[in-house]
Structure 1
Amino acid sequence: MSAYQRTSVGSLPLDEKLARPVLTLDHVHCRFGQHKAVSDVSLHINAGEVVCLLGPSGCGKTTLLRVAAGLQAPSEGSVFLGGDLVAAPGHVHRPPEQRNVGLAFQESALFPHLTILENVSFGLQALPKHERKSRAMHLLDRLGMAGLAKAYPHTLSGGQQQRVALARALAPAPRVMLLDEPFSSLDARLRDQIRDDTLHVLKEMGTATLLVTHDPEEAMFMADRIALMREGQVVQTGAPAELYCNPADPFVVNFFGRVNVCTGPVRNGSVLTPVGHLQAHGFPEGSEVTVMIRPEAVRVSALPDDGQNQEASHVVMSKLLGSSSLLHICAHGAEGQEMHLHARVPGVFLPPEGQPVSLSLDMSKVFMFRQ
C-alpha cells in the first residue's frame, strides 16, 4: 500500500470503513493557467447528508463539483470516495464512470429517442429486466412521474424533464449524488415542489449529496451543511442556522439577505447608531466597527401621531410581501444620526407614510465586525 493510500481522511484512518465519509475533498486546488478557480478546499460528506456549495457566480463551486465527479482533475490535493483514492495529481485520476456517482445538471439532457421509463432504466443494464423496471418505476412514482412512463421527453414540461433526469441519476444507487443548479431553470412554485420531492427521495435512499446553488434559500432548505464560497475558497462551513446566526464575516451576513449597515467608533464599550447605543463587547475602545442589522431584527411600534413625536423615527413606505410586511423607515437617533432602515415584520402590518414609530432590536440578529 502506498503512503497516499494510508493517508487519513480528516481525523479518520482509512481502515475504519464504517466511520469514513463517503466523499472527501482534501486540500483541493484547481488552476486554469494563472487563474485559481479553487484554492485549498477541504470538505467531506457523510452517508445520507446533503451538503450545499453556495456562492455567487464564478466563485468555484461548479469547478469543485466537477473535480468530485472526475470531470476535472485537481491541480493539487486529493479526492476520496470512501477509502478509495480516486484523484491526486501524479498518482491517480479515475474517470466519472469508475466512481459510481450520479450527476444531474441544470439541463436535463434526456435521451430523446427513449421513453421516460427507458431513460431511467438506462444505467441499470446489469439488473434483470423485471428489476430494472421495478426500480425505475419506484423512482418515477416517488417523483410523481409514474403516469408518464411511456411518454417521450419532448412531450414533457421542463419541470417534468428535470424530475426524470433526477430519477435517472438516482436509479443506479450511486454512492454520491452531484447536483449542479438542477432547479434553477424552473419557476418558483414548481421549483419548491421538485426540490421538496427530491430531498425526500435523497433522504429515503440515504444518498450522500453535493448540491451546487447560488440561492441561499434553496441551500437552507436542502442542506444539512452549507459551504459558502468566495473567490475559490470556502469562507464558512456549517449548518444553515450556524451560518445565518453566527456569520464569520460581513460577506456571510450579506449573502443571506439584505441588511441594514452603519458604522461608528466604540466609545465606553458601545457603538452609537440611529437605533440607539449597542454594546460592543470584545472590540477595542476607539476602534471603528461595522454594524449589520437584519431587517427581521428591527422591532417596530407605532407611536401616537399627535404632534408630540415630530423628532421620532417615521415610516416612509409599507409593502405587504405575503406572510410578512416590509417597512422603509427613516430612523432618527441621538446626536442627529439618521438612517434609511428596512424592517421586516410578520403578518400584515402596514402603517401609513409618516407614521411615527419607536424602534428596538433583537440583538441575536445584529452582527458587528471591526473595520
Structure 2
Amino acid sequence: MTTMTSPSSEASRATATPRHATLLAMRHVRHVYDGAQVAVDDVSLTVGPGEVVCLLGPSGCGKTTLLRIAAGLEALQEGELSLRGEPLSVPGGRHVPPEKRSVGLAFQDSALFPHLRVLENVGFGLESLPAGERRERAMALLEQLGMADYARTYPHQLSGGQQQRVALARALAPAPALMLLDEPFSSLDARLREQIRDDTLHVLKRVGAGTLLVTHDPEEAMFMADRIALMHDGRIIQMGTPRELYCEPEDPFVVSFFGAVNEWSGEVRDGRVATPVGPVAAPALAEGARARVMIRPEALRVTPVELPDDERREEPARRGQVIQARLLGRSSLVQLHARGADGSEANLQAQVPGVFLPEPGQPVALALDTSQTFVFPAGAGA
C-alpha cells in the first residue's frame, strides 16, 4: 500500500472544507430510552459538504445514539433533522428509511457478506448500474484504499484492517452525500489504526463526502476532524476546531478529556491565583473568588539546576525536585515535587519532548507556558 502524507494542518482543512453550505442539520434533538433514560438532550449541530465532524466523548454520552438518528436507525423523537434542507424525519410523522437517505454507514464491525468476494461486496449497493460500470466504480475505490489486489478474495481471508478498508469502500460506492462512521478504527492495533485512518481521511476529502464520525479517542478526533463536538451526558459541552477545543476550552471537562492535568484551587488576589509554579492570571474572576486552576503537563518547562550548596540561595523562586522520570517514546514524563515562592507545595507532572530523564532528587527550575494554563470558577465543570 502507498503511504500518503496526511492533510493535517488546519489551514489546509479550512481551504478544503466549504463553510457556506449545510449538508446535515440537527436541531434541538432529544432522545429518551424506555421513557426515562435520556440519551441525547437538546443537541444541535451541522455538517457541511466535504467536512468531517467528530462526535467525541466517553462511553454512554449519547454520540452513537445521535449517529443512529442521523442514519434513520432510530426514529426522531424530538427536534429537527434534515439533509440538504430536506426533512429526513418528523417526530411522530414522516420517517425516511436508511436506504433512502443517501448516507453511507461503516461501523466497528465491518459486517461484510462472507459469501461474496471483495469486489462483489463493494458493488453490492450498485445494482442499478450496468455490470461494467459497477465493476469500474468498485475497482476505483479499492484502488484508492490499496485493496485492488484483493478484489477476488473472500472476507475471511483478509486481516481486520483490510476488512475495514473494504467496508469503507462499500459505504462510499453509491456516492452518498453523507458518511456516518461509528468507531470504525477502534478494533485495530495502534500502528494499523494510524495508517487506516490516514488513508480514510484522504479518501473522504477526495470524494468530498460530508462525514459524521463517532469516536472516544481524543487524538483520533483531532487528527480526523475539521470540527469536534465533545459530548457529556447527552449534551454537547463544546463544539469547534481541534485547536479551539484544546487551546480555548470552555469547561474543565474539555481540559481533562484531552489528557491528564495538574490542578490547584485558590483565591483570586490582585487578579491572579497563586500556585506552586507561580501566579496565574484570572481576569474573568472577581477579587476573592475561589478558582480552579488546570495546567497541562506540557505547559511546564523543566530545566536541571546544577549549583553548589552555597549558591542554592540563587535558585529561581519557581523550583522543584524530581521524584521520577519515565520515557514514553516521543516524550518523557517527569514527576516533580514543586515549591512556590509563597511556600505552597504540590506533586505534579510535566511532559517534556524527547528523552529527558533526570535522576530522582535532581533540583530543577520550572517555567510555565500560560497558553496551556486554564482558570475556571471553583465548582465549574460538566
Q: Is the TM value for this pair above 0.5?
A: yes
Among candidates 266, 280, 283, match of residue 281 of structure 1: 283
* Matched position secondary structure for 2:45: strand
- Does the CA contact (< 8 Å) of 2:264 and 2:292 recur in 1? yes
Aligned-partner residue type, residue 133 of structure 1: R
Query: Aligned AA for 1:112?
Result: P
Residues 193-225 of structure 1, C-alpha deviation per residue, up to 9 Å, x if partnerless? 000000000000000000000000000000000
The aligned counterpart of 1:104 is: 106
The residue that corresponds to 1:359 in the other structure is 366
Structure 2 unaligned spans of 5+: 1-18
Deviates more, 1:322-331 or 1:299-308: 299-308
Q: What is the distance in 1 between the residues matched to 2:272 and 2:369?
A: 16
Would the aligned equivalents of 2:77 and 2:92 in 1 still touch at CA under 8 Å?
A: no
| TM-score after normalising by structure 1 | 0.93
1:314 pairs, out of 312, 316, 321, with 321
Verify the 8 A CA contact 1:309 1:356 in the aligned structure 2: no
Cα distance between partner residues in 2 of 1:74 and 1:355: 60
Deviation of the 1:305 alpha carbon = 4.9
The answer (yes or no) to whether the contact 2:54–2:214 under 8 Å persists in 1 is: yes
SS of 2:237's equivalent in the other structure is strand
Q: What is the correspondence of 1:212-361 to structure 2 with a 5 Å cutoff?
A: 212-307=214-309, 308-309=311-312, 312-361=319-368
Q: Which residue of 2 aligns with 1:11?
A: none
* Cα drift, residue 306 of structure 1: 2.6
Q: Which runs of 5+ in 1 are unaligned?
A: 1-17
Aligned to 1:13: none
Corresponding residue for residue 21 of structure 1: 22
For structure 1, which segment, 194-203 or 142-151, has the greater mean C-alpha deviation from structure 2 after superposition? Answer: 142-151
Q: Which moved more, 1:236-245 or 1:270-279?
A: 270-279
Partner-residue secondary structure (3-state), 1:92: coil
User: Is the CA contact (8 Å cut-off) linking 2:40 and 2:235 kept in structure 1?
Assistant: yes
1-structure distance, mates of 2:139, 2:228: 32
Once residues 286 and 141 of structure 2 are traced to their aligned partners in structure 1, the CA distance between those partners, rounded to angstroms, is 58
Distance in 2 (CA, whole Å) between partners of 1:203 and 1:273 is 45
Report the identity percentage: 62
8 Å Cα contact 1:305-1:356 kept in structure 2:
no
Query: How far apart in 1 are the matches of 2:154 and 2:298?
Result: 47
Give the secondary structure class of the aligned counterpart of 2:268.
strand
| Corresponding residue for residue 205 of structure 2 | 203
Q: TM-score, normalised by structure 2?
A: 0.90
Distance 1:268 1:367 in 2: 17
Q: 1:78 corresponds to which letter in structure 2? A: E
Instruction: Tell me which residue corresponds to 2:132.
Output: 130
Does structure 1 retain, via aligned residues, the 8 Å contact 2:227–2:239? yes
Higher deviation after alignment, 308-317 or 318-327: 308-317
Residues 158 and 186 in structure 1, CA contact (< 8 A), matched pair in contact too: yes
Superposed CA deviations along residues 124-177 of structure 1, whole A, max 9, x for unmatched, are 111111111111111111111111110000111111111110110011100100
Question: Could you tell me how far 1:19 is from its partner in structure 2?
Answer: 5.1
Deviation at 1:322, TM superposition (A): 1.6
- Give SS of 2:55's match: strand
